[in-house]
Amino acid sequence: MDFIVGSFNHSSLYLLQFTPASGSNESSLKVIREHPAIAGHSWLSLSQDKKFLYCTAWLEKPAIAAYRVGANGRDIQFLNAKNVKALSGYVCSNQSHVFSAGGPSGEVFRREADGTIGDLVQELDYVSGQGENQSEKRGDVAHGSFGGLRHGAHSVDLSPDGESLYVADIGRNCIWTYKVIHSKRGISDPPLELSSKHISPREHDGPRHTWPHPNGKVLYSLQEHSSMVDVFAIAEDGVTLEHKQGCSVLPSGKDCKKYWADEVRHSTGPDPAKPRYLYASNRGLDAGTMGHVAAYKLKDDGFLKSEDPIDIFETPTSGGLANAVEPAPWTKHTGDEEYLALTDSQDGWVSILSFDGKKIKEVSKVNLGKTNDGKVVTFAWQAITILSGTQGIQRVSENRTIEYYPNNIVIGTVRDISATQARLSKDGITSSNIHLLPVEITNAASVQKAAQDVAAITGGSLDFLIQNAALVDTSTAYKSVLDLDPQELGERLKASFDPNVVGTAYVLSYFIPLIRQSQGKKVLVTSTGMADLDIINKFDLEFAVPYSVSKAAMNLLVGKYHAAVGRSDGILVFSVSPGFVDTSEGKQPTEEELKGMQAMGAKFATYTPDFSGPITVGESVGDMAKLLKRATVDEFGGGFVSQKGDKKWL
């Protein structure tokens, strides 16, 4: 597990690496790189494709900053910064905008295609006409007000579907909700529309941070002053909240006036759509008051199974300004044990906590020492960004697929690199994010080497695997099973079975260990509707025997991989027919092929009366990309569907 940590007082970004215990080897946490930064960065937020890092920048004149992230965090380059009205406490982004919130105000900037922060397009005001600041009524507080952050807007988060935005405001004791009315890049129209101001359940709460459940129907809110975690139901409009539950981060008998809260997050697996646990943390207001990390059991719908915590862990220090927690990506190798990163600004520690469903404990930690002027490097609240599993990495065998993933790292494994490079050049596809690796799918050693090469590029993980390599026996495409000599039939069946079944087994077996280490955890294997036994029987589809039979066997193989890693690891493995696709690229069929195509077309017309001919490669790939994005283990695991996600093959 690799992750980046920022600080309040030191102009560096630290890349850390945690290795869990294995056999006789103890777990370890170490700093593997220190990157120069323009300021102390109290909050870090990776773009969805993990290519860019957006940060709060605690400069003399408050700002937010953008960095380019390469080589899985081994290379971080400053891009630009933009000033904001007040010290920013939190940033987040989508494909088109960067959002900031801090104290009395907030800002929305354009996000440019190169990752830089563009022009300011919208300002947010949390003071004018909003009445008395409830937090300021508490009087002076330890550690200062941070330019209004202690008594104002403190966080900004998007809903899972990107259509809503939530701002927690300590001072106004509320959560502001916005509709995201557009996500268009390159225009100056304001993207947010204020919907509601939701007052917190208690007068002394002070919402600090919010975090949505993956289903988009539940919002968790951590309260600064009461150390409570409140659970809200989100209405269908995405912006109306209804309070449902509340639980305390504090052990019984503790006085909330001696603490201030920090972070709330949910666990990441085995099924990322149904996290098992909710984690929340707080800090002591003075150095002698230790902070806490609490764990709660979640139901599948996102609500608390009980308002009583499973366990409350007392942190080694007060946490200072930090005690931020961030769960690591879940993997099968850790079993029931989950890991969380924890930052401390009192003494400068970064720790890894483990949770086995019963107890939280510290398993490893590292101290980053002091700044040049002798001060402890004070790690920031929630300046932890997990990098393991770079979102959006694709493996493709059809080079045209990559144009649908312009913001991702694309790794194509091909038999002929020079021919593929020529084709990419012809199609006008040029990008530093595209990598080509040689592979012979029927050779286990070759596939294993390709997996090792991919791991070297990505840092050991792979979010999405598209297994598209196959043998299509064009010579038998339009022939019936009885048109072939028995010996020839046997030879062609063997020839198709080797790449289409055995080759697929090699690919999945060697690449799934990389998938386990990722956040995406999806494997799509291309199949064909001609492998559907019901359709074959109903419409007498006697064509393409070796291809259809080998793909049917492959579909069963996919089911076996789902049985092995679907529910246990939360990895989606499924077969998808790309549809009846025109891959001829203008090549004219022979007379024999034309007759076969006409006969097949007549059968297809019986199956689908409105059949109008093949679809384009672009249409097919676009449909599969959309399907891959929305597909879940519960709905599609081990399944065999069309590019639309149904059983309609044409």
Residue 125's pLDDT is: 94
556 and 319 Cβ atoms separated by less than 8 Å: no
Contacts 24+ apart (CB under 8 A), 597-602: 597/478, 599/478, 599/543, 600/478, 600/541, 600/543
CA 316 centroid distance within chain: 31
The DSSP 8-state label assigned to residue 103 in this structure reads B
Among 154, 213, 162, CA closest to 184: 162
Does domain 394-642 fall under CATH 2.40.30.20? My reply is: no
Among 212, 162, 217, 155, CA closest to 47: 162
Please state whether 426 falls in left (phi above 0), alpha (psi between -120 and 50) or beta: alpha
The DSSP 8-state label assigned to residue 220 in this structure reads E
Is 51 a residue of the active site?
no
C-alpha Rg value of the chain to the nearest Å: 27
In the chain, where the domains are located: 86-375, 394-642
158 and 164 Cβ atoms separated by less than 8 Å: yes
72 and 80 Cβ atoms separated by less than 8 Å: no
Residue 71's pLDDT is: 64
Residue 218, both tokens: 């539940």
Count CB neighbours of 314 within 10 A.
Answer: 11
Residue range 166-222, pLDDT digits in tens: 999 999 999 999 999 998 888 899 999 999 999 999 999 999 999 999 999 999 999
- Distance (Å, whole) CA 591 – CA 598: 11
Among 485, 515, 222, CA closest to 390: 515
- Distance (Å, whole) CA 523 – CA 528: 16
- Distance (Å, whole) CA 377 – CA 290: 19
Name residues whose C-beta falls within 8 Å of residue 392's C-beta, 6 or more positions apart in sequence: 48, 49, 50, 405, 407, 408, 409, 463, 464, 520
- Distance (Å, whole) CA 235 – CA 332: 34
Count CB neighbours of 584 within 10 A.
Answer: 10
Q: DSSP 3-state assignment of 128?
A: coil
CA 457 centroid distance within chain: 18
Among 79, 83, 131, CA closest to 107: 83
Residue 432's pLDDT is: 60
Residue 140, both tokens: 């002076």
Active site residue: 82, 179, 521, 551, which one?
A: 551
Q: Which helix (H) or strand (E) holds 396?
A: strand 394-396
- Distance (Å, whole) CA 606 – CA 448: 44
Residue 431's pLDDT is: 59
Residue 403, both tokens: 């144009």
Residue 531, both tokens: 């492998």
The answer to pTM > 0.75 is no
- Distance (Å, whole) CA 512 – CA 436: 19
Domain boundaries 86-375, corresponding CATH code: 2.130.10.10
Q: DSSP 3-state assignment of 166?
A: strand
125 and 105 Cβ atoms separated by less than 8 Å: yes
Residue 376, both tokens: 């402890």
- Distance (Å, whole) CA 390 – CA 518: 7
Write the single-letter amino acid at 180: V
- Distance (Å, whole) CA 135 – CA 154: 12
Name residues whose C-beta falls within 8 Å of residue 463's C-beta, 6 or more positions apart in sequence: 389, 390, 391, 392, 393, 394, 515, 518, 519, 520, 521, 522
The dihedral over CA atoms of 495, 500, 501, 505, expressed in degrees to the nearest 10, equals 130
Among 355, 215, 348, 367, CA closest to 281: 355
Active site residue: 547, 603, 626, 644, which one?
A: 547
- Distance (Å, whole) CA 299 – CA 513: 29
Is 547 a residue of the active site?
yes
- Distance (Å, whole) CA 558 – CA 531: 13
CA atoms 581, 435, 429, 71: torsion sign: positive
- Distance (Å, whole) CA 147 – CA 380: 16
380 and 8 Cβ atoms separated by less than 8 Å: yes
Write the single-letter amino acid at 108: V
Among 558, 571, 560, CA closest to 528: 558
The DSSP 8-state label assigned to residue 463 in this structure reads S
Strand partners, 340: 327, 353
Give the pairing type, strands 28-36 and 44-46. unpaired
Q: What are the helix (H) ranges across 459-544?
A: 486-497, 504-516, 533-539
- Distance (Å, whole) CA 294 – CA 313: 6
Count CB neighbours of 286 within 10 A.
Answer: 10
Write the single-letter amino acid at 149: L
pLDDT beneath 50, residues of the chain: 135, 143-145, 147, 381-407
